[in-house]
A = this chain, B = another copy of it.
Amino acid sequence: MNEQQIRRLLDGVKSESVSVDEAIDSLRDLPFEDLGFAMVDHHRALRQGFPEVIYCAGKTVDQIITIADRIVTRGADLLATRASQEIYNEVAAQLPDAEYHEAARAIVLQKDHTIRGRGRILVVSAGTSDIPVAEEAAITATVMGNEVDKIFDVGVAGIHRLLAHREMLTSASILIVVAGMEGALASVVGGMVARPVIAVPTSVGYGASFGGVAALLGMLTSCASGVTVVNIDNGFGAGYAASLMNRADTP
């Protein structure tokens, strides 16, 4: 449609029913949605292999099903985060191929299993309560075409457990460190590797952990260089950013 408008204008120039000056005036005010498709194209190209994502929190089941259906219809892979078992049940009634990753609270419908990352992404977490956020990061990176490893049994108060996994830590391409409480794991891991570390504070803890603020501040002020931070409990964001960093087909 927009393309048709431009085509009509250019046909007018070609047939000289529209002067060049008139055409310039028209183009000067060219509605942005007319240019928009280029960007959309561009975006789509860049996102190849990326699933479309639904953040379920604060959406009704009907809204989720509608969006999920539209995504799958269009042939894209689907990732729905913060999804309860109930939401999955209703989505699965509509989309029987959708799988539920309980630990990650995520619904996945993935057809394209091409590996797009150049190295492995490693998700490290300490406490058992951090696992949902860590799993959300892992499933996100997986669905975005990465090979993902997980170390979920380490914490700085038992540093030898972490050291025992030194090899896996140093061979990862990108590391995601998920930790609540004081969030010190990010600094320790950041000091052990020379690869990008994405730190995810979690809202795990009580009292002075202030719903993740203690971990967040600890990670932001980490004495280890190369550590960057995402929002509290934002496993998806960490998995997404790690995937961008790990892309093999970009510079």
A interface list, Cβ under 8 A from B: 3, 6-7, 10-11, 13-14, 16, 20, 23-24, 27-33, 35-40, 42-43, 46-47, 53, 57-59, 63, 118-120, 126-129, 155-161, 163-167, 170, 173, 181-184, 187-188, 190-196, 198, 201, 203-234, 236-238, 240-241, 244-245, 250-251
Checking B164, B222, B231, B251 against A33 with a beta-carbon cut-off of 8 angstroms, the contacting residue is B164
Would B206 and A128 count as touching, CB distance under 8 A? no
Would B251 and A118 count as touching, CB distance under 8 A? yes
Would B173 and A184 count as touching, CB distance under 8 A? no
Interface SS of chain A: helix
Would A203 and B214 count as touching, CB distance under 8 A? no
Given A14-B13, A187-B156, is A251 in contact with B119 using a C-beta cutoff of 8 Å? yes
Checking B46, B119, B157 against A224 with a beta-carbon cut-off of 8 angstroms, the contacting residue is B157
Would B214 and A217 count as touching, CB distance under 8 A? yes
Given A24-B3, A194-B47, is A36 in contact with B220 using a C-beta cutoff of 8 Å? no
Q: Would you give the shortest CB distance from A138 to chain B, in whole angstroms?
A: 16
Would A128 and B33 count as touching, CB distance under 8 A? no
- Bound complex: CA of A23 vs CA of B220, how far in Å? 42
Given A14-B16, A160-B39, A207-B220, is A7 in contact with B33 using a C-beta cutoff of 8 Å? no
Copy number in the complex reads 8
Checking B57, B192, B213, B228 against A230 with a beta-carbon cut-off of 8 angstroms, the contacting residue is B228
Q: Would you give the shortest CB distance from A126 to chain B, in whole angstroms?
A: 7
A3 proximity list for chain B (CB < 8 A): 24, 28
- Bound complex: CA of A126 vs CA of B221, how far in Å? 14
Would A226 and B214 count as touching, CB distance under 8 A? no
A16 proximity list for chain B (CB < 8 A): 14
A43 proximity list for chain B (CB < 8 A): 194
Q: Would you give the shortest CB distance from A59 to chain B, in whole angstroms?
A: 7
Given A32-B163, A198-B228, A208-B221, is A20 in contact with B24 using a C-beta cutoff of 8 Å? no
